[in-house]
Amino acid sequence: MTAQQYIEPPILLSAKETADLVDVDTKPVTIALQSSLQTLHDLNAQITAQLANHCVLHKKDTPPPISITVTILSPLTGKLD
């Protein structure tokens, strides 16, 4: 089994952001809503910034994570599913 590394802070998506990402995933980019494309851009920017920060903090001794997991917050409790 391999060790798992987590980059903090976690990126939590709202229901709207999740719906935006589903919109981008299920439609051709040419007809996706502009707000959906903006959400995807913002998420990519957050991930890139966290990976860059991870690389700066850990230099060459720790490889960056190669897997990203998205967890949706339970709408009523605010707890992770």
What residues does 73 pair with on adjacent strands?
A: 80
**Residue at 1 is within a domain:** no
**Residue at 36 is within a domain:** yes
Record the pTM: 0.65
* pLDDT tens digits along 32-47: 899 998 998 898 888 8
For 64, the domain range is 8-73
Contact of 8 with 58, CB cutoff 8 Å = no
Query: What pLDDT shows up at residue 67?
Result: 67
Judge whether residue 2 has pLDDT over 70. Answer: no
Q: Give the C-alpha separation, 56 to 27, whole Å.
A: 36
Q: Give the C-alpha separation, 51 to 77, whole Å.
A: 29
Number of domains in the chain: 1
**Residue at 19 is within a domain:** yes
